[in-house]
């Protein structure tokens, strides 16, 4: 089993920045993809950014404003978010995928609120 613990969410003014962190523990050997999704009540969870073997993908809505990075030594993935907008308000979830077992794992989520 893989445990993912997110941190770094909170309330920020429009134009501000936040850095989310997600620490993985447990059966983490062989994690291929790590990423961030977000969800607004009543809507589907959507991809924000993901990283796999050095390749990164971003949602169009966050390109140029967000950067995902991964520290394999710390088993941690980060999401640096700049130029935050009210529409970025959501619960952000960390995700990890292990190809060898074809299993996906989710964190508990961290709230990000962008408001003046």
Report the distance separating Cα 81 and Cα 48, nearest Å. 10
Asked if the model's pLDDT at residue 42 lies above 90, the reply is yes
With a CB cutoff of 8 Å and minimum separation 6, the contacts of 65 are 81, 82, 83, 84
Q: Which of helix, strand or coil describes residue 109?
A: coil
Q: What is the residue-wise DSSP string for 14-27? A: TT--EEEEEEEEES
pLDDT tens digit sequence for 71-114: 988 999 999 999 999 999 999 999 999 888 899 999 999 999 99
What letter would DSSP give residue 99? T
Residues of the chain above pLDDT 90, percent = 83
pLDDT at 29: 77
Report whether 32 contacts 52 (CB < 8 A). yes
Where does the pLDDT of residue 1 fall: very low under 50, low under 70, confident under 90, or very high at 90 and above?
confident
Enter the tokens of residue 28.
């983490």
């Amino acid at each position: 089993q893989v445990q993912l613990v997110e941190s770094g969410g909170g309330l920020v003014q429009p134009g501000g920045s936040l850095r989310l962190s997600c620490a993985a523990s447990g059966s983490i050997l062989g994690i291929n993809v790590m990423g961030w999704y977000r969800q607004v009540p009543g809507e589907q969870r959507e991809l924000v950014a993901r990283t796999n073997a050095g390749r990164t993908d971003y949602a169009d809505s966050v390109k140029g404003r967000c950067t995902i990075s991964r520290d394999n030594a710390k088993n941690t993935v980060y999401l640096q978010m700049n130029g935050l907008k009210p529409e970025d308000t959501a619960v952000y979830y960390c995700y990890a995928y292990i190809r060898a077992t074809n299993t996906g794992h989710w964190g508990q989520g961290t709230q990000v609120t962008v408001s003046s």
